[in-house]
Amino acid sequence: MIIHSKFKDYYDIGLRYGVDTTLHWNRQSEIVDSENRLYYNHSLFSLDYDYMKSIYFYKFSIIVCGVKYRGIKCTTNDFSNTYEYFYDFDSLDRFIKGIGKKCYKAFCNTIKTYDNKTLYQVFSNTKNFFYTENNYIRECEQYDTCIIVRTYEGLEINSCLKDYQFYKVWDSFTCYQNIVAFMTNHILIKEKEVNAIPDKYKIKAHGFDKWSFRKQGNMQK
């Protein structure tokens, strides 16, 4: 599969192992549904663990190859505007521990949610925040893509998976293989059928004409 794109993604390394030149994917990011967007007040929790130091937790979801992945993204109040994405609780737990003891203690002890549970107890219940859900093939087929992300501007297709740290879920080679298989079976095969070249143009392209395969009649002078 040949990828036409203005950006590079982490799974593009799979192109080194050979491509099917009959399949083309126009990987251009664009907003396809501006009504279905995130709102700026969707923060889950904020964690104050030291003087003027806080962590903000948000939900996020991304559809890749017909599967919806839901997880948690975090950012700090240092105005760096960078996020860390987590697709399972263990990676989030290691991230909090890596910040320091004060942060991890606050994470385990701070009560900010329902049923008087601590943040640690809430997030460790993976059914609440970390899960995968199948049966999103129809949505991908609707927008002729294998990647859909809900952003502040609306539904975005063909997003850069590297920006969402999806390498934490699939390594580069696995991601490339899965995308090629999905696009071939559900998206590109449809385009190939719709854009099939009529036989009369194929014949002309090879130097033949309408008389090449039939007996010509007597030509009148």
Give the best-scoring range by mean pLDDT among 39-43, 144-148, 194-198: 144-148
pLDDT at 143: 92
pLDDT at 46: 82
Is it the case that residue 197 has pLDDT exceeding 50? no
DSSP state of 120: H
Could you give the count of Cα atoms lying within 13 Å of 142 in the half-sphere of its Cβ? 12
Task: Give the number of other CB atoms < 10 A from CB of residue 61.
Answer: 14
Q: Where are the beta strands (DSSP E) in 66-185?
A: 67-76, 84-86, 131-133, 147-150, 155-157
113 vs 72, residue with greater confidence: 72
Range with the lowest mean pLDDT among 11-20, 24-33, 175-184?
Answer: 11-20
Mean pLDDT throughout 64-85? 86
Is it the case that residue 76 has pLDDT exceeding 90? no
Is it the case that residue 201 has pLDDT exceeding 50? no
User: Please, are residues 128 and 122 in contact by the beta-carbon 8 Å criterion?
Assistant: yes
Is it the case that residue 72 has pLDDT exceeding 70? yes
Is it the case that residue 207 has pLDDT exceeding 90? no
How much is the mean pLDDT over the chain?
A: 82
User: What is the per-residue pLDDT across 160-185, written as a single tens digit (0 to 9) for each?
Assistant: 999 999 999 999 999 999 999 999 99
- Here the tokens at position 180 are 């090629």
What SS3 state is found at 52?
A: coil
User: What is the per-residue pLDDT across 92-150, written as a single tens digit (0 to 9) for each?
Assistant: 999 999 988 999 998 998 876 667 788 888 888 877 789 899 989 999 999 999 999 98
Measured distance CA(29)–CA(45) in Å, rounded = 30
Measured distance CA(102)–CA(106) in Å, rounded = 6
Task: Give the number of other CB atoms < 10 A from CB of residue 106.
Answer: 22
